[in-house]
Amino acid sequence: MSTTQFDVIVIGGGPGGYVAAIRAAQLKLKVAVVEAAALGGICLNWGCIPTKALLRASEINHLLHNLGEFGFAADNVRFDFDKVVKRSRAVSAQLSAGVAHLLKKHKVTVISGFGKLAGTAGANRKVSVSVEGRETTVLTAPNVIVATGARARVLPGLEPDGKLVWSYREAMVPKAMPRSLLVIGSGAIGVEFASFYRNMGAEVTIVEVAERILPVEDAEISGFARKALEKQGMKILTGATLGKVTKAENSVTIDITAGGKTAPVTVERVISAVGIVGNVENIGLEGTSIKVDRTHITVDPYCRTGEKGVFAIGDIAAPPWLAHKASHEGVMVAELIAGRQVHPISPMNIPGCTYCRPQVASVGLTEEKAKAVGYRIRVGRFPFIGNGKAIAMGEPEGMVKTIFDDATGELLGAHMVGAEVTEMIQGYVIARTGELTDGELKETVFPHPTISETMHEAVLAAYDGALHI
């Protein structure tokens, strides 16, 4: 075994860890990243990126089957499902290699293995690296960033079995296209998989224990999205609970209770998408002052744990559990370690995006939460059907909703559903980060013709000034 000294050791090479390492290296710190699997983490290899490749394929499939609106016709439209899956894996492989290149470019030492905290050595923290249970290296540094991420939560009786019951991993690399599918959970992961498989032709049922799908989103947007998905042929059961599970050779039957009635639902495959569990096991937290709350490490606004010199970022720490939040935390912590002045990240300024069809995006407070906090609010709404670009694109299904503080003009929240809204939400994020008010947003000139004009109209609508409806 060898002992190597660094300024910063990052445990985990996902979107939080590798970005933290790059930024620390840019600030002239000596950095090591310890990663047990592929660089890029779950996001790049089994989450954000490959799912978007799959969703893109499903959007193309949907478009090819609806060409008549645009004056085209195509006969015998078909797809090679194996190639669809292989392309998504190739995209991930390309980007993982890109991360390796970036780390090499910035002279970050990458060590393959499982990293864990292993006590102290004077003013330094020790990190033990093991491969297949055998310790291979001990690293030391005054600062350690824990970025070990999270994994899918498993429901008892519905453990992924590689055939009938899938987690997100199995759902991304199926051996064949299922004819019917039950998705348990209607957060971003569940709804995105439901959208992919429905657009590819599967019969899809979504089951959600909450009273509505996408429960963290504004209720009005959630309701709009539900109607759109049901219009596509999905069956959605909310306020639902699961009962007896019966597995056959090539199907699963689950008793589902919803609306006071219990009925069996039989499908070929089940996707369980009921949240995440932080990877806190076996990373050396025992005997430290680091606290864990419901499988996630407790941190302060600067991502500092209760142990001096140890930080935690990304999905292992506080919500929201999003890749872009993890990356920004990585930058903040790297700059803090380097002695720079930093500002905590405001969770209310972190956008959330769901890449189903239609897309959903939001930032800030929902209408319900704004009222609960005590704000007197002004709400603006504008539908895509009033936007020329949306109609020209054949995408008139959508709306934008803005919520302002009536007293100050502060933009409290913005919520969107429709084509390309995940690309547009950053406009409202900039507005909140820059503390722009209704007056400045009203005076902002939006290009025409663009779908982004709906954002301007939704601001105007909050003050009874919408022009195209």
Catalytic residue numbers read 448
Q: Binding site annotation covers 188?
A: yes
Q: Binding site annotation covers 32?
A: no
Strands 8-11 and 31-35 come out as: parallel
Angstrom CA distances, 28 to 7, 139, 180, 211, stand at 10, 19, 53, 51
Q: Binding site annotation covers 275?
A: yes
- Alpha-carbon span 331 to 328, nearest angstrom: 5
Q: Binding site annotation covers 186?
A: yes
Strands 261-267 and 252-258 come out as: antiparallel
Q: Binding site annotation covers 60?
A: no
Amino acid in the structure at residue 204: V
Question: H/E element holding 130?
Answer: strand 124-131
Q: Binding site annotation covers 243?
A: no
Q: Binding site annotation covers 410?
A: no
Amino acid in the structure at residue 224: F
Q: Binding site annotation covers 451?
A: no
Q: Binding site annotation covers 397?
A: no
- Alpha-carbon span 224 to 421, nearest angstrom: 14
Q: Binding site annotation covers 192?
A: yes
H-type alpha helices, 178-310? 188-199, 219-231
CA 72 to chain centre: 35
Q: Binding site annotation covers 52?
A: yes
Give the residue carrying structure tokens 């001990």: 138
H-type alpha helices, 292-411? 323-337, 367-373, 388-392
Q: Would you call the peptide bond into 215 cis, given omega within 30 degrees of 0 as the criterion?
A: no
Structure tokens at 296: 């996630």
Residues placed in the known binding site for NAD(+): 185-192, 208, 275
Binding site for FAD: residue ranges? 52, 115, 315
User: Which residues contribute to the annotated binding site?
Assistant: 52, 115, 185-192, 208, 275, 315
